[in-house]
């Protein structure tokens, strides 16, 4: 795809693939969709891939010798290879399809954590973890007698790496770190954290839900033991997530769910397990979703992950600068030129929910609340924040629409 003078992406051409962006909302306003960190939209080729599967070769995988089943099986298995390669993994044996990032966290916490953790072990998280990891490791720690610790954040929203170096010790069994914070936008030095963890014989699970959709990721370079992300945040369908795991770890781990397809041999007394990734995909898996997610990867890679990242960084910095022009706005996290495509903020005197609802009247869709980071909001000292998040199809005009709508809200709430 050719870039125009607007930047590294031909946004107009991209937007043509997303008919939903043509929608009007709130009784006639143009939709300005700035809630991409929650869920992104789905381009025509991905919608077509889903329809094509159901129209032409809908069938169960790994179960039939008939032609439709074979076609579905090949497409589904190839999708694992594509998703593995997308994050720098070797092949399908390192890529498990789950329901979402949350299920990927639960899979490792239960299949690995429940068996491996015990009293005296520590699981080190960051203060900016999403509930998907935070609640999950809390529960498994509770069950096993392990302890959960949190690497603090600095005043400007970075991870305190001195504290990290002190907190990760020989007692640490696993570090779980979000790659890009969905609230602060902080891009965490996950490679450095991996080195510290490995120096102490611990594993690292990287939550890539916000990173994998928005930049090139290389799990080998990070040296991540596990890396998780969700299809619905990267132009794919809902209902599919991805868990990259190092080959030997997935091979050693116990299954998470039991049932069909995850077994090798079953007797009335016992069973043995299939090889990864199928060992972790019990029952009929996410066939249409997996095939469509592979199409989403093609779409992203045709545009180029570096171009997507550059486009988003420019928009994010612009939004940060525009929003902080007035001193009644607090933006949380690092400066505008050093963050992922997320800007969480509060406007003095306006609750984030009120702000979001007024913005909706102007067609501007943002998220308001705690963004599944309640403890982080406690640390920030606010009950909630408004969050605008950007993707490859967003424009500077849409940032201007956001800022104008915030100004309208300011007028409504003016004393
Ligand atoms: C950083 C992060 N981790 C995990 C999740 C959970 O993703 P899912 O709801 O797809 O499981 C999200 C979703 O917002 C997220 O932003």
210 within ligand 1 shell (Cβ under 6 A): yes
Q: Are 317 and 306 in contact (CB under 8 A)?
A: no
Cis peptide bond N-terminal to 280, omega within 30:
no
Residue 374 C-alpha to ligand 1 middle, in angstroms?
14
Over 70: is that where the pLDDT of 3 sits? no
186 within ligand 1 shell (Cβ under 6 A): no
pLDDT of residue 2: 41
Domains of the chain: 11-36+304-413 (3.90.1150.10), 47-301 (3.40.640.10)
Closest ligand 1 atom to Cα of 181: 1
Dump pLDDT digits (tens) for 357-398.
999 999 999 999 999 999 999 999 999 999 999 999 999 999
Residue 130 C-alpha to ligand 1 middle, in angstroms?
7
180 within ligand 1 shell (Cβ under 6 A): no
Residues with catalytic annotation?
Answer: 372
The span from the CA of 322 to the CA of 308, in Å, is 21
pLDDT band at 48 (very low <50, low <70, confident <90, very high): very high
Residue 102 C-alpha to ligand 1 middle, in angstroms?
6
394 within ligand 1 shell (Cβ under 6 A): no
C-alpha triplet 184, 365, 340: angle, nearest 5° = 25
Dump pLDDT digits (tens) for 226-281.
999 999 999 999 999 999 999 999 999 999 999 999 999 999 999 999 999 999 99
Closest ligand 1 atom to Cα of 372: 14
| Percentage of the chain exceeding pLDDT 90 | 97
CA nearest neighbour of 319 among 385, 254, 401, 239: 401
The span from the CA of 45 to the CA of 51, in Å, is 10
Nearest Cα residue to atom 14 of ligand 1: 38
H/E element holding 385? strand 385-389
pLDDT band at 6 (very low <50, low <70, confident <90, very high): low
Dump pLDDT digits (tens) for 101-141.
999 999 999 999 999 999 999 999 999 999 999 999 999 99
Choice from 183, 206, 208, 210 to test ligand 1 binding pocket (greatest atom count within 8 A of CB) = 210
Choice from 39, 104, 209 to test ligand 1 binding pocket (greatest atom count within 8 A of CB) = 209
H/E element holding 81? helix 67-86
b/e 384-404 (16+ beta carbons within 10 angstroms → b): bbbbbbbbbbbbeebbebbbe
Burial class (CB in 10 A: 0-12, 13-18, 19+), 266: exposed
């Amino acid at each position: 795809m050719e870039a125009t003078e607007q930047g590294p992406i031909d946004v107009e051409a991209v937007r043509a693939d997303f008919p939903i962006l043509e929608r009007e909302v709130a009784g006639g306003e143009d939709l300005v969709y700035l809630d991409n960190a929650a869920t992104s939209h789905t381009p025509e080729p991905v919608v077509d891939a889903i329809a094509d599967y159901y129209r032409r070769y809908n069938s169960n995988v790994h179960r039939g010798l008939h032609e439709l089943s074979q076609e579905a099986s090949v497409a589904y298995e190839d999708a694992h290879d594509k998703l593995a390669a997308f994050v720098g993994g070797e092949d399908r044996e390192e890529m498990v399809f789950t329901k979402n990032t949350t299920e990927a966290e639960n899979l490792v916490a239960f299949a690995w954590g429940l068996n491996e953790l015990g009293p005296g072990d520590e699981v080190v998280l960051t203060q900016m973890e999403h509930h998907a990891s935070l609640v999950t490791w809390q529960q498994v720690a509770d069950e096993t007698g392990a302890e959960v610790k949190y690497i603090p954040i600095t005043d400007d929203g970075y991870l305190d790496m001195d504290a990290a170096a002190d907190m990760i010790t020989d007692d640490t069994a696993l570090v779980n770190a979000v790659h890009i914070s969905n609230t602060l936008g902080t891009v965490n030095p996950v490679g450095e954290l991996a080195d510290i963890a490995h120096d102490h014989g611990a594993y690292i699970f990287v939550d890539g839900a916000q990173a994998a959709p928005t930049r090139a990721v290389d799990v080998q370079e990070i040296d991540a033991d596990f890396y998780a992300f969700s299809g619905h945040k990267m132009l794919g369908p809902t209902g599919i997530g991805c868990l990259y795991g190092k080959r030997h770890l997935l091979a050693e781990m116990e299954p998470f769910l039991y049932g069909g397809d995850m077994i090798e041999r079953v007797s009335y007394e016992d069973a043995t397990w299939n090889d990864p990734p199928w060992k972790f995909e019990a029952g009929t898996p996410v066939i249409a979703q997996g095939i469509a997610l592979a199409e989403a990867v093609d779409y992203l890679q045709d545009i180029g992950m570096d171009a997507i990242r550059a486009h988003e960084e420019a928009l994010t910095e612009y939004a940060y600068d525009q929003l902080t022009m007035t001193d009644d706005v607090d933006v949380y996290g690092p400066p505008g030129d050093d963050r992922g495509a997320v800007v969480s903020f509060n406007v003095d005197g306006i609750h984030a929910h009120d702000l979001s609802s007024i913005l909706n009247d102007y067609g501007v869709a943002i998220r308001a609340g705690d963004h599944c980071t309640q403890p982080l909001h406690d640390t920030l000292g606010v009950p909630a924040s408004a969050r605008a998040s950007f993707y490859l199809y967003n424009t500077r005009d849409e940032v201007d629409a956001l800022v104008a709508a915030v100004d309208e809200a300011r007028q409504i709430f003016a004393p």
